[in-house]
Amino acid sequence: MTHIEIGAVLPSVMDELTDPGSPDPIRAARMVEERGLESLWVADLVLGDGTPALEPALTLHNLEGVSARSARPGRGQRST
């Protein structure tokens, strides 16, 4: 049987972070772990339009003190 690993992308763009329905990255990371997901990701956004976003390495580093580390951290890059 194939084993599927499922993770989640944390909110990191200011539009997501200021949306009242979107959890902050710390709460989102806790939710990922509570639900037993395998990994949590932060997008490394390279946006040419000046959209503010959190820096992924610092975001993951700050989550280390909050996370029980049952979910593996990762970052992905998207360029627009």
Residue 74's pLDDT is 65
pTM of the model: 0.69
Q: What is the pLDDT of residue 63?
A: 78
At residue 73, the pLDDT reads 64
CB 49 within 8 A of CB 14: no
- Where does the pLDDT of residue 2 fall: very low under 50, low under 70, confident under 90, or very high at 90 and above? confident
Q: Tokens 């990371």 label which residue? A: 29
The pLDDT tens digits of the residues spanning 3-48 come to 888 888 888 788 888 888 888 888 888 888 888 888 888 877 766 6
Domain ranges of the chain: 7-79
